[in-house]
């Protein structure tokens, strides 16, 4: 079989240490894999090999990642090697796996299968407001400041009954404990979860009902965790609750030099915690096959100034054959941040690359990216700032999303109000949600059917949209045919309303990818509630267009690689940030800023261009200390 040959070729193509990792069988393993070391190939080869060894077995493999993109890529690679076994693998994020657990067994902790996920801040603040109002509570603080406190308590896995120890002010603690309890009860009454509640409730399920965790341990014989260094307390505790004390088939891939999510609870010390809890074998993959040797030396020099590193960890080793006629590293100096943006744009314009997508511009924050995007536009160069979107931006796709949500919950006033509002804008209607709710309750109780009976649009397009909804959603309840019909209608060039929506094309590309990815994750026969849960977990950010320059924050660049990389803003108070400087030269915050720089420079495959200015926002700044630590100035 072709897949057998592919798998054998993959193993033969690995280095000795990569092959040793891919051939690992039973027991705990921590693979210390630096940037560009081929960890994805190793993970894929190992999973495919384990499946191939027992192709008819019933056990499954759990592969946890930190991004849906990484999970989708891994699933695709495994499918190419062992297509007959890919259904035996769950590849997804921590939140996706927790949702899967709650769908199957959440009723034990009060979560029904068709739970809804609230991801937007606006929705969550409204829920908190409603919860406090119904409980007749006054938390004594603005809700936008109170909600992060509740999120922090759940990240610590503290419940309403045991959260007082986290407050120095007892009275404030009691107010928050009551508010926390009211908020969680309101979520349960709505059969809903927000992001922090997903891991929290799955953890509660495993710890309160160990027999359920044991069932998952017997199902998933092998577990792998990618980017393990990014786990926070809740995620790691969820894994501990899943594995218990006896399950050891845990294969984690980590790099403490790439911990850049301390603000979300990640810590370089998580690796030592894993060593203490699981006593794993440790294997190092320090060879970098991505970056030029000069960049590898710079990266080693940079992180050598950090103290919070795994003892005995080997420095990176350059493993890439290089063209000696290419200047791999450059440093550009400018007078101001405006001149830096213009200078970087002009320099990029002079590069002779066939695809603009081969050149990425990275910065610590979005502000510099906005400046350089404007300068690129002046030069006629298309670019796109990459950033997470929790919702669709165009009215057509907002309405499509609303259609699916009300079809899933046909008597939900909140969902119905959003659906009616979006429909009024898109289809030029003047319907009132309250009137339709009253009509439905006096008849069949179905809000969606009431809307379909009253919607009388004028335009030919709008009539087609309503007809598709009536036929496929109201009558047949076939959401896939509805989606197919509506997206085909959206694609018709004569629909001038759509063409005036500036974000429509982006949403169109995002929806196309999301629908394909989710179908691959949960299967093409999964019910609507499962599809919506996965949709709400994922960013609605459109895929990067071909021939467009990607503009990325450092956090957004993680997991990517580009032939040519620009890193802007290498000045004190920018990179490193003012907050890290204020915390101190030896602070954890400064060490994380150093790791931010490490991650950014190791995205490049061929060339790296660093830049800084003397003045930012009117304030004079010194060149970044990281330039000296990388021995570039």
| Residues placed in the known binding site for ATP | 33-40
| Token representation of residue 363 | 């910065």
Q: Give the CA radius of gyration of the chain.
A: 26
Residue partners of 605: CB distance under 8 A and separation at least 6: 290, 291, 561, 562, 563, 564
Question: Which residues make Cβ contacts (< 8 Å) with residue 546, sequence separation at least 6?
Answer: 355, 357
User: Hey, is 324 helix, strand or coil?
Assistant: coil
Cα–Cα distance for residue pair 179/139, rounded to 1 Å: 7
Q: Which helix (H) or strand (E) holds 619?
A: strand 619-620
Q: Hey, what are 61's tokens?
A: 């493999």
- Separation CA 553–CA 545 (nearest Å): 18
Give the Cβ contact number of residue 225 at 10 Å.
25
> Following DSSP, what letter does each residue of 245-292 receive, concatenated?
TT---EEEEE-GGG---GGGT--TTHHHHHHHHH--EEEEE-EESSS-
- Nearest residue to 98 (alpha-carbon basis) of 194, 16, 2: 194
Q: Is 329 helix (H, G, I), strand (E, B) or coil?
A: strand
Give Cβ neighbours of residue 205 (< 8 Å, ≥ 6 apart): 101, 102, 105, 106, 108, 109, 212, 213
Q: Cβ atoms within 10 A of the Cβ of 305, count?
A: 16
Residue 470 backbone phi and psi in degrees, to 5: -60, -45
Instruction: Show the tokens assigned to 569.
Output: 């803003």
Cα angle for residues 500, 543, 257 (degrees, 5° grid)? 140
**Exposure b/e, 317-348, CB count within 10 A at least 16 = b:** ebbbeeeeeeebbeebebeebbebbbbbbeeb
Distance CA 127, CA 131 (A): 6
**CA 409 from centre of chain:** 26
The Cα 520–Cα 512 span in angstroms is: 13
Which of the 8 DSSP states describes residue 83? T
Are the CB atoms for 102 and 201 separated by under 8 Å? yes
Peptide bond into 576 cis (omega under 30): yes
Displacement of CA 3 from its chain's centroid (Å): 30
For residue 21 the two structure tokens come to 């990792």
Provide the sign of the torsion angle of the four alpha carbons 583, 589, 591, 595, taken in this order. negative
Q: Distance (Å, rounded) from C-alpha 632 to C-alpha 616?
A: 21
Write out the binding residues.
33-40
Six token digits for residue 376: 């690129």
């Amino acid at each position: 079989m072709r897949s057998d040959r592919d798998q054998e070729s993959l193993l033969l193509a690995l280095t000795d240490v990569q092959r040793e990792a891919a051939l690992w069988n039973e027991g705990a393993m921590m693979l210390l894999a630096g940037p560009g070391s081929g960890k994805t190939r190793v993970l894929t080869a190992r999973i495919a090999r384990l499946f191939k060894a027992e192709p008819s077995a019933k056990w499954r493999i759990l592969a946890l990642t930190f991004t849906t993109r990484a999970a989708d890529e891994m699933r695709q690679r495994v499918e190419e090697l062992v297509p007959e076994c890919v259904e035996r693998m769950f590849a997804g994020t921590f939140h996706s796996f927790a949702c899967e657990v709650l769908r199957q067994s959440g009723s034990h902790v009060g979560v029904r299968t068709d739970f809804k996920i609230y991801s937007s801040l606006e929705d969550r603040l409204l829920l908190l407001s409603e919860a406090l109002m119904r409980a007749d509570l006054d938390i004594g603080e603005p809700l936008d400041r109170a909600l992060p406190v509740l999120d922090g308590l759940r990240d610590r896995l503290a419940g309403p009954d045991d959260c007082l120890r986290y407050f120095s002010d007892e009275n404030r603690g009691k107010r928050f404990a009551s508010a926390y309890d009211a908020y969680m009860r309101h979520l349960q009454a709505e059969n809903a979860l927000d992001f922090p509640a997903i891991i929290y409730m799955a953890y509660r399920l495993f710890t309160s009902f160990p027999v359920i965790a044991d069932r998952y341990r017997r199902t998933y014989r092998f577990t792998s965790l990618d980017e393990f260094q990014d786990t926070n307390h809740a995620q790691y505790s969820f894994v501990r609750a899943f594995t218990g004390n006896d399950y050891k088939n845990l294969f984690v891939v980590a790099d403490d030099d790439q911990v850049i999510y301390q603000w979300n609870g990640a810590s370089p010390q998580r690796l030592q915690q894993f060593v203490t809890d699981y006593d794993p074998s440790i294997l190092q993959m320090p060879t970098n096959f991505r970056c030029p040797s000069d960049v590898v030396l710079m990266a080693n020099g940079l992180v050598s100034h950090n103290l919070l590193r795994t003892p005995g960890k080997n420095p990176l080793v350059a493993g890439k054959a290089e063209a000696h006629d290419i200047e791999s590293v450059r440093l550009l100096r400018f007078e101001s941040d405006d001149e830096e943006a213009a200078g970087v744009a002009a320099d990029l314009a002079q590069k002779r690359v066939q695809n603009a997508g081969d050149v990425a511009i990275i910065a610590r924050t979005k502000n510099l990216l906005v400046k350089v995007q404007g300068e690129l536009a002046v030069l006629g160069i298309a670019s796109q700032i990459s950033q997470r979107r929790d919702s669709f931006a165009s009215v057509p796709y907002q309405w499509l999303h609303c259609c699916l949500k009300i079809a899933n919950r046909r008597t939900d006033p909140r969902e119905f109000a959003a659906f009616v509002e979006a429909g009024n804008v898109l289809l030029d209607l003047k319907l009132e949600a309250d009137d339709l709710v009253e009509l439905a309750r006096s008849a069949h109780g179905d809000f969606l059917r009431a809307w379909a009976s009253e919607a009388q649009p004028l335009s030919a397009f709008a009539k087609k949209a309503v007809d598709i909804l009536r036929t496929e959603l109201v009558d047949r309840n076939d959401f896939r045919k509805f989606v197919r019909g509506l997206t085909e209608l959206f694609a018709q060039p004569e629909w001038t309303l759509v063409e005036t929506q500036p974000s429509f094309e982006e949403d169109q590309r995002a929806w196309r990818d999301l629908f394909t990815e989710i179908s691959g994750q949960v299967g093409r026969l999964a019910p609507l509630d499962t599809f919506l849960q996965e949709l709400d977990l994922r960013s609605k950010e459109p895929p990067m267009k071909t021939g467009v320059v990607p503009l990325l924050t450092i956090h957004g660049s993680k997991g990517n690689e580009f032939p040519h990389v620009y890193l802007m803003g290498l000045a004190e108070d920018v990179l490193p940030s003012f907050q890290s400087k204020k915390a101190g030269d030896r602070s954890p915050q400064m060490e994380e800023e150093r790791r931010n720089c490490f991650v950014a420079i190791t995205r490049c495959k061929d060339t790296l261009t660093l830049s800084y200015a003397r003045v930012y926002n009117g304030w004079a700044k010194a060149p970044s200390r990281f330039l000296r630590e990388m021995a570039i100035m």
